[in-house]
Amino acid sequence: MKIGIDKYFKYSLKFKKRFTNATASFDKKEFLIIKFNIDNRYSSFSEVCLTPGAAPEDIIKTFKSFLINTPEQMHDAVNYLKKIEIDDSLRYGLEQPLFFYLLKEKKDFLKQFPDTRNIKANAIIDLDDINRAIKRIEEKVKEGYCVIKIKVGRKDFEEDLSLLKKVDSLYGDSIILRLDVNGKWNYKLALDRLPSLEKFNIEYIEDPTSNLEDNLKLAKKIKVPIALDQTLPCFNETLDILQNYDIKHIVVKPSIRFGIFNTIDLINYARRQDKQIVISSAFETTLGKSVLTFIASFTTPESVHGLDVYDMLETSFYDPFPINKGKIEIDFSALDKNYEEVFRSIETNWNNHID
Protein backbone atom coordinates (compact mmCIF):
# COMPACT_ATOMS: atom_id res chain seq x y z
CA MET A 1 0.00 0.00 0.00
CA LYS A 2 1.37 3.38 -1.00
CA ILE A 3 -0.18 6.59 0.30
CA GLY A 4 0.80 9.94 -1.14
CA ILE A 5 -0.36 13.53 -0.62
CA ASP A 6 -1.92 15.32 -3.59
CA LYS A 7 -2.82 18.71 -2.10
CA TYR A 8 -3.95 20.46 1.07
CA PHE A 9 -5.54 23.66 2.31
CA LYS A 10 -6.47 25.43 5.54
CA TYR A 11 -10.14 25.50 6.42
CA SER A 12 -11.96 27.62 8.99
CA LEU A 13 -15.07 26.25 10.65
CA LYS A 14 -17.11 28.96 12.35
CA PHE A 15 -19.46 28.71 15.31
CA LYS A 16 -22.94 30.21 15.05
CA LYS A 17 -22.25 31.84 18.42
CA ARG A 18 -19.23 31.90 20.67
CA PHE A 19 -18.81 28.65 22.61
CA THR A 20 -17.78 28.89 26.25
CA ASN A 21 -16.76 26.38 28.89
CA ALA A 22 -15.14 26.91 32.29
CA THR A 23 -11.64 27.40 30.89
CA ALA A 24 -11.96 28.68 27.30
CA SER A 25 -14.09 30.55 24.79
CA PHE A 26 -13.85 30.42 21.00
CA ASP A 27 -15.79 31.24 17.84
CA LYS A 28 -14.02 29.12 15.21
CA LYS A 29 -11.79 26.09 14.66
CA GLU A 30 -9.12 25.81 11.99
CA PHE A 31 -8.14 22.65 10.17
CA LEU A 32 -5.75 21.37 7.58
CA ILE A 33 -7.69 19.42 4.95
CA ILE A 34 -5.46 16.97 3.07
CA LYS A 35 -6.14 14.98 -0.09
CA PHE A 36 -4.39 11.62 -0.32
CA ASN A 37 -3.78 9.21 -3.18
CA ILE A 38 -3.91 5.53 -2.22
CA ASP A 39 -2.15 3.07 -4.57
CA ASN A 40 -3.16 5.32 -7.49
CA ARG A 41 -6.64 3.81 -7.11
CA TYR A 42 -8.48 5.85 -4.50
CA SER A 43 -8.58 9.44 -3.37
CA SER A 44 -9.19 10.10 0.28
CA PHE A 45 -9.29 13.12 2.57
CA SER A 46 -8.38 13.73 6.17
CA GLU A 47 -8.48 16.65 8.55
CA VAL A 48 -6.06 17.79 11.23
CA CYS A 49 -7.05 20.30 13.90
CA LEU A 50 -4.60 23.21 13.74
CA THR A 51 -3.21 24.58 16.97
CA PRO A 52 -2.30 28.30 17.06
CA GLY A 53 0.92 28.90 15.16
CA ALA A 54 0.98 25.48 13.49
CA ALA A 55 2.51 25.62 10.00
CA PRO A 56 0.73 23.44 7.39
CA GLU A 57 4.00 22.92 5.51
CA ASP A 58 5.61 21.43 8.63
CA ILE A 59 2.67 19.06 9.11
CA ILE A 60 2.85 17.90 5.50
CA LYS A 61 6.60 17.37 5.82
CA THR A 62 6.03 15.27 8.94
CA PHE A 63 3.29 13.26 7.22
CA LYS A 64 5.51 12.47 4.24
CA SER A 65 8.34 11.32 6.50
CA PHE A 66 6.03 8.73 8.08
CA LEU A 67 4.07 7.73 4.98
CA ILE A 68 7.22 6.75 3.10
CA ASN A 69 7.79 4.03 5.70
CA THR A 70 4.21 2.71 5.82
CA PRO A 71 4.24 -1.11 5.54
CA GLU A 72 2.56 -2.74 2.53
CA GLN A 73 0.21 -5.01 4.48
CA MET A 74 -2.88 -3.48 6.04
CA HIS A 75 -2.43 -5.07 9.47
CA ASP A 76 1.20 -3.95 9.65
CA ALA A 77 0.30 -0.43 8.47
CA VAL A 78 -2.35 -0.08 11.20
CA ASN A 79 0.08 -1.21 13.90
CA TYR A 80 2.76 1.10 12.52
CA LEU A 81 0.54 4.19 12.77
CA LYS A 82 -0.68 3.19 16.23
CA LYS A 83 2.86 3.09 17.59
CA ILE A 84 4.75 5.91 15.87
CA GLU A 85 5.84 8.75 18.15
CA ILE A 86 3.73 11.66 16.95
CA ASP A 87 1.12 14.04 18.34
CA ASP A 88 -2.25 12.27 18.43
CA SER A 89 -3.95 14.94 16.32
CA LEU A 90 -1.45 14.17 13.56
CA ARG A 91 -1.85 10.42 14.09
CA TYR A 92 -5.59 10.90 13.53
CA GLY A 93 -4.87 12.72 10.26
CA LEU A 94 -2.53 9.99 9.05
CA GLU A 95 -4.94 7.19 9.93
CA GLN A 96 -7.95 8.54 8.02
CA PRO A 97 -6.82 7.48 4.51
CA LEU A 98 -5.94 4.05 5.91
CA PHE A 99 -9.39 3.87 7.44
CA PHE A 100 -11.00 4.65 4.08
CA TYR A 101 -8.84 2.01 2.36
CA LEU A 102 -10.06 -0.49 4.96
CA LEU A 103 -13.67 0.26 4.04
CA LYS A 104 -12.97 -0.14 0.30
CA GLU A 105 -10.72 -3.20 0.33
CA LYS A 106 -11.55 -5.12 3.50
CA LYS A 107 -15.33 -5.26 3.51
CA ASP A 108 -15.30 -8.48 5.57
CA PHE A 109 -14.22 -6.23 8.42
CA LEU A 110 -17.75 -4.77 8.48
CA LYS A 111 -19.47 -8.14 8.91
CA GLN A 112 -19.11 -7.79 12.67
CA PHE A 113 -21.71 -5.00 12.55
CA PRO A 114 -25.46 -5.20 11.86
CA ASP A 115 -26.71 -3.74 8.57
CA THR A 116 -27.81 -0.57 10.35
CA ARG A 117 -27.41 0.77 13.86
CA ASN A 118 -28.40 3.84 15.82
CA ILE A 119 -25.61 5.67 17.62
CA LYS A 120 -26.99 7.60 20.60
CA ALA A 121 -25.82 11.14 21.28
CA ASN A 122 -26.08 13.49 24.24
CA ALA A 123 -27.02 17.13 23.84
CA ILE A 124 -24.43 19.65 24.99
CA ILE A 125 -25.13 22.88 26.87
CA ASP A 126 -22.28 25.37 27.11
CA LEU A 127 -21.53 27.77 29.96
CA ASP A 128 -24.34 30.13 29.01
CA ASP A 129 -26.70 32.41 30.86
CA ILE A 130 -28.94 30.18 33.00
CA ASN A 131 -32.18 31.18 31.26
CA ARG A 132 -30.68 30.53 27.82
CA ALA A 133 -29.27 27.23 29.07
CA ILE A 134 -32.71 26.16 30.32
CA LYS A 135 -34.28 27.14 27.01
CA ARG A 136 -31.76 25.07 25.07
CA ILE A 137 -32.28 22.08 27.37
CA GLU A 138 -36.04 22.33 26.84
CA GLU A 139 -35.51 22.40 23.07
CA LYS A 140 -33.23 19.37 23.17
CA VAL A 141 -35.59 17.35 25.34
CA LYS A 142 -38.46 18.14 22.95
CA GLU A 143 -36.26 16.92 20.09
CA GLY A 144 -35.95 13.56 21.84
CA TYR A 145 -32.66 13.76 23.75
CA CYS A 146 -32.56 11.75 26.97
CA VAL A 147 -28.97 12.53 28.02
CA ILE A 148 -27.90 16.15 28.51
CA LYS A 149 -24.30 17.21 29.05
CA ILE A 150 -24.05 20.53 30.88
CA LYS A 151 -20.92 22.65 31.19
CA VAL A 152 -20.49 23.85 34.76
CA GLY A 153 -17.70 25.60 36.66
CA ARG A 154 -19.10 29.11 36.94
CA LYS A 155 -17.33 31.54 39.26
CA ASP A 156 -20.32 31.35 41.58
CA PHE A 157 -21.08 27.68 42.30
CA GLU A 158 -24.56 28.69 43.46
CA GLU A 159 -25.37 29.55 39.83
CA ASP A 160 -24.45 26.02 38.77
CA LEU A 161 -26.65 24.66 41.55
CA SER A 162 -29.50 26.96 40.56
CA LEU A 163 -29.38 25.65 36.98
CA LEU A 164 -29.32 22.02 38.13
CA LYS A 165 -32.21 22.55 40.56
CA LYS A 166 -34.28 24.09 37.78
CA VAL A 167 -33.50 21.20 35.42
CA ASP A 168 -34.34 18.73 38.19
CA SER A 169 -37.68 20.45 38.89
CA LEU A 170 -38.57 20.27 35.20
CA TYR A 171 -37.48 16.72 34.40
CA GLY A 172 -36.45 14.82 37.54
CA ASP A 173 -35.14 11.38 36.62
CA SER A 174 -36.70 11.42 33.14
CA ILE A 175 -33.40 12.68 31.73
CA ILE A 176 -29.80 11.80 32.57
CA LEU A 177 -27.26 14.53 33.25
CA ARG A 178 -23.57 14.60 32.49
CA LEU A 179 -21.63 17.49 34.01
CA ASP A 180 -18.31 18.83 32.74
CA VAL A 181 -16.22 21.08 34.98
CA ASN A 182 -13.30 21.21 32.49
CA GLY A 183 -10.86 21.02 35.41
CA LYS A 184 -11.93 24.39 36.80
CA TRP A 185 -11.93 23.38 40.49
CA ASN A 186 -9.01 22.49 42.71
CA TYR A 187 -9.10 19.35 44.85
CA LYS A 188 -10.41 21.10 47.99
CA LEU A 189 -13.21 22.86 46.10
CA ALA A 190 -14.20 19.64 44.32
CA LEU A 191 -14.24 17.70 47.61
CA ASP A 192 -16.47 20.40 49.10
CA ARG A 193 -18.83 20.82 46.14
CA LEU A 194 -19.33 17.35 44.68
CA PRO A 195 -21.41 15.93 47.58
CA SER A 196 -24.05 18.62 46.98
CA LEU A 197 -24.56 17.19 43.47
CA GLU A 198 -25.40 13.67 44.61
CA LYS A 199 -29.15 14.38 44.75
CA PHE A 200 -29.35 15.01 40.99
CA ASN A 201 -29.68 12.30 38.34
CA ILE A 202 -26.04 12.53 37.24
CA GLU A 203 -24.34 9.76 35.29
CA TYR A 204 -20.87 11.25 35.78
CA ILE A 205 -18.87 14.44 36.24
CA GLU A 206 -15.95 15.07 33.89
CA ASP A 207 -12.62 16.38 35.14
CA PRO A 208 -13.61 18.17 38.37
CA THR A 209 -9.96 19.22 38.62
CA SER A 210 -7.17 19.66 36.10
CA ASN A 211 -4.97 17.15 37.95
CA LEU A 212 -5.23 13.44 37.13
CA GLU A 213 -4.16 12.23 40.57
CA ASP A 214 -6.70 14.49 42.27
CA ASN A 215 -9.49 13.17 40.03
CA LEU A 216 -8.51 9.58 40.81
CA LYS A 217 -8.58 10.36 44.55
CA LEU A 218 -12.00 11.98 44.20
CA ALA A 219 -13.30 8.87 42.43
CA LYS A 220 -12.57 6.89 45.62
CA LYS A 221 -14.18 9.40 47.99
CA ILE A 222 -17.22 10.77 46.15
CA LYS A 223 -20.45 8.91 45.33
CA VAL A 224 -21.01 10.71 42.01
CA PRO A 225 -18.96 8.87 39.34
CA ILE A 226 -15.94 10.73 37.99
CA ALA A 227 -15.07 10.61 34.27
CA LEU A 228 -11.75 11.55 32.73
CA ASP A 229 -11.28 13.55 29.55
CA GLN A 230 -8.71 16.35 29.44
CA THR A 231 -6.72 14.78 32.29
CA LEU A 232 -6.24 11.47 30.47
CA PRO A 233 -2.62 10.31 30.46
CA CYS A 234 -0.93 8.44 27.60
CA PHE A 235 -2.55 5.38 26.01
CA ASN A 236 -0.85 2.69 28.15
CA GLU A 237 -1.51 4.57 31.38
CA THR A 238 -5.17 4.94 30.37
CA LEU A 239 -5.35 1.14 30.00
CA ASP A 240 -3.96 0.90 33.54
CA ILE A 241 -6.62 3.28 34.85
CA LEU A 242 -9.37 1.20 33.28
CA GLN A 243 -8.00 -1.93 34.90
CA ASN A 244 -6.99 -0.69 38.34
CA TYR A 245 -8.96 2.44 39.28
CA ASP A 246 -12.52 3.32 40.20
CA ILE A 247 -13.21 5.08 36.91
CA LYS A 248 -16.18 3.73 34.92
CA HIS A 249 -16.24 6.30 32.10
CA ILE A 250 -13.45 7.57 29.89
CA VAL A 251 -14.29 10.39 27.45
CA VAL A 252 -12.10 10.28 24.35
CA LYS A 253 -11.74 12.85 21.57
CA PRO A 254 -9.96 10.69 18.95
CA SER A 255 -9.12 13.66 16.73
CA ILE A 256 -6.81 15.01 19.45
CA ARG A 257 -6.27 11.98 21.74
CA PHE A 258 -5.18 8.48 20.71
CA GLY A 259 -6.34 8.58 17.05
CA ILE A 260 -8.64 6.07 15.35
CA PHE A 261 -7.17 2.62 15.88
CA ASN A 262 -5.85 3.11 19.43
CA THR A 263 -9.30 4.37 20.42
CA ILE A 264 -10.91 1.25 18.97
CA ASP A 265 -8.45 -0.86 21.00
CA LEU A 266 -9.35 1.18 24.08
CA ILE A 267 -13.07 0.56 23.50
CA ASN A 268 -12.55 -3.19 23.23
CA TYR A 269 -10.39 -3.22 26.36
CA ALA A 270 -12.95 -1.18 28.33
CA ARG A 271 -15.76 -3.55 27.35
CA ARG A 272 -13.81 -6.46 28.85
CA GLN A 273 -13.53 -4.42 32.07
CA ASP A 274 -17.28 -3.63 31.98
CA LYS A 275 -16.44 0.05 31.57
CA GLN A 276 -17.38 2.59 28.95
CA ILE A 277 -15.59 4.76 26.42
CA VAL A 278 -17.59 7.81 25.39
CA ILE A 279 -16.60 9.20 21.98
CA SER A 280 -16.63 12.98 22.01
CA SER A 281 -16.32 15.62 19.34
CA ALA A 282 -13.65 18.33 19.44
CA PHE A 283 -15.74 20.35 16.96
CA GLU A 284 -14.54 18.65 13.79
CA THR A 285 -15.95 19.21 10.31
CA THR A 286 -18.51 16.68 9.06
CA LEU A 287 -15.56 14.75 7.63
CA GLY A 288 -14.22 14.23 11.14
CA LYS A 289 -17.71 13.61 12.51
CA SER A 290 -18.16 10.77 10.03
CA VAL A 291 -15.05 9.04 11.36
CA LEU A 292 -16.12 9.57 14.98
CA THR A 293 -19.53 8.05 14.24
CA PHE A 294 -17.85 4.93 12.90
CA ILE A 295 -15.55 4.69 15.94
CA ALA A 296 -18.59 5.01 18.23
CA SER A 297 -20.15 1.98 16.53
CA PHE A 298 -17.58 -0.23 18.32
CA THR A 299 -19.11 0.61 21.71
CA THR A 300 -22.12 -1.10 23.26
CA PRO A 301 -25.55 -0.19 21.81
CA GLU A 302 -26.60 1.55 25.03
CA SER A 303 -23.59 3.89 24.99
CA VAL A 304 -24.31 7.60 24.50
CA HIS A 305 -21.70 9.79 22.82
CA GLY A 306 -20.79 13.47 22.70
CA LEU A 307 -21.42 14.01 18.99
CA ASP A 308 -24.20 16.60 19.04
CA VAL A 309 -22.23 19.78 18.39
CA TYR A 310 -23.09 20.39 14.77
CA ASP A 311 -26.10 22.63 15.32
CA MET A 312 -23.59 25.03 16.94
CA LEU A 313 -21.43 25.19 13.80
CA GLU A 314 -21.79 26.69 10.37
CA THR A 315 -22.23 24.16 7.58
CA SER A 316 -18.95 22.58 6.48
CA PHE A 317 -19.20 19.62 4.07
CA TYR A 318 -21.84 17.02 3.26
CA ASP A 319 -23.04 15.25 6.41
CA PRO A 320 -23.93 11.59 5.82
CA PHE A 321 -24.89 11.06 9.46
CA PRO A 322 -27.30 13.78 10.63
CA ILE A 323 -28.57 13.53 14.19
CA ASN A 324 -32.29 12.93 14.58
CA LYS A 325 -33.93 12.81 18.00
CA GLY A 326 -30.61 12.21 19.70
CA LYS A 327 -29.62 9.34 17.39
CA ILE A 328 -27.41 8.85 14.34
CA GLU A 329 -28.36 6.05 11.97
CA ILE A 330 -25.40 4.38 10.32
CA ASP A 331 -25.80 1.98 7.39
CA PHE A 332 -22.67 -0.13 7.29
CA SER A 333 -23.41 -1.51 3.83
CA ALA A 334 -23.21 2.02 2.40
CA LEU A 335 -20.37 3.32 4.53
CA ASP A 336 -17.76 3.70 1.79
CA LYS A 337 -20.31 5.50 -0.44
CA ASN A 338 -21.13 7.86 2.44
CA TYR A 339 -17.50 8.88 2.68
CA GLU A 340 -17.22 9.33 -1.08
CA GLU A 341 -20.11 11.82 -0.85
CA VAL A 342 -18.21 13.73 1.81
CA PHE A 343 -15.09 13.72 -0.40
CA ARG A 344 -17.06 15.06 -3.38
CA SER A 345 -18.45 17.88 -1.26
CA ILE A 346 -14.92 18.80 -0.17
CA GLU A 347 -13.82 18.99 -3.79
CA THR A 348 -16.84 21.16 -4.58
CA ASN A 349 -16.01 23.52 -1.71
CA TRP A 350 -12.26 23.49 -2.32
CA ASN A 351 -12.07 27.27 -2.67
CA ASN A 352 -13.73 27.85 0.70
CA HIS A 353 -10.47 28.11 2.62
CA ILE A 354 -8.05 30.50 4.28
CA ASP A 355 -5.20 31.83 2.15
At 246-290, the pLDDT tens digits run 999 999 999 999 999 999 999 999 999 999 999 999 999 999 999
CA dihedral 236, 239, 243, 244 (to 10 degrees): 50
In which band, very low, low, confident or very high, does the pLDDT at 355 lie, cut at 50, 70 and 90? very low
Report for 10-24, 96-110, 142-156: range of highest mean pLDDT: 142-156
All structural domains of the chain with their residue ranges: 3-110, 112-342
In which band, very low, low, confident or very high, does the pLDDT at 107 lie, cut at 50, 70 and 90? low
CA distances from 250 to 147, 266, 267, 273 (A): 16, 10, 9, 12
At 128 the three-state DSSP class reads: coil
pLDDT at 352: 55
pLDDT at 36: 96
What's the mean pLDDT in 74-102?
94
Mean pLDDT across the chain: 93
* 291, pLDDT greater than 80: yes
CA distances from 354 to 11, 31, 36, 348 (A): 6, 10, 20, 16
In which band, very low, low, confident or very high, does the pLDDT at 316 lie, cut at 50, 70 and 90? confident
Do 213 and 190 form a contact (C-beta atoms < 8 A)?
no
Which has the higher per-residue pLDDT, 74 or 59? 59
In which band, very low, low, confident or very high, does the pLDDT at 333 lie, cut at 50, 70 and 90? confident
pLDDT at 21: 87
What's the mean pLDDT in 299-308?
95
At 199-245, the pLDDT tens digits run 999 999 999 999 999 999 999 999 999 999 999 999 999 999 999 99
In which band, very low, low, confident or very high, does the pLDDT at 116 lie, cut at 50, 70 and 90? confident
Percent of the chain at pLDDT above 90?
Answer: 78
At 40-53, the pLDDT tens digits run 888 999 999 998 88
Percent of the chain at pLDDT above 70?
Answer: 97
CATH superfamily, with its number, for domain 3-110: Enolase-like, N-terminal domain (3.30.390.10)
What's the mean pLDDT in 168-172?
98
* 62, pLDDT greater than 80: yes
In which band, very low, low, confident or very high, does the pLDDT at 115 lie, cut at 50, 70 and 90? confident
pTM for the whole structure = 0.95
Rounded to a whole number of angstroms, the distance between the first and last alpha carbons of the chain is 32
Distance CA 11, CA 32 (A): 6
- Residues contacting residue 66 through CB under 8 Å, at least 6 positions apart: 81, 84, 86, 94
Fold of 112-342: TIM Barrel (3.20.20)
Give the full edge-to-edge strand order of the sheet including 42-49: 3-20, 25-38, 42-49
pLDDT at 354: 45
Q: φ, ψ for residue 298 (rounded to 5)?
A: -80, -15
pLDDT at 167: 98
Distance CA 76, CA 59 (A): 23
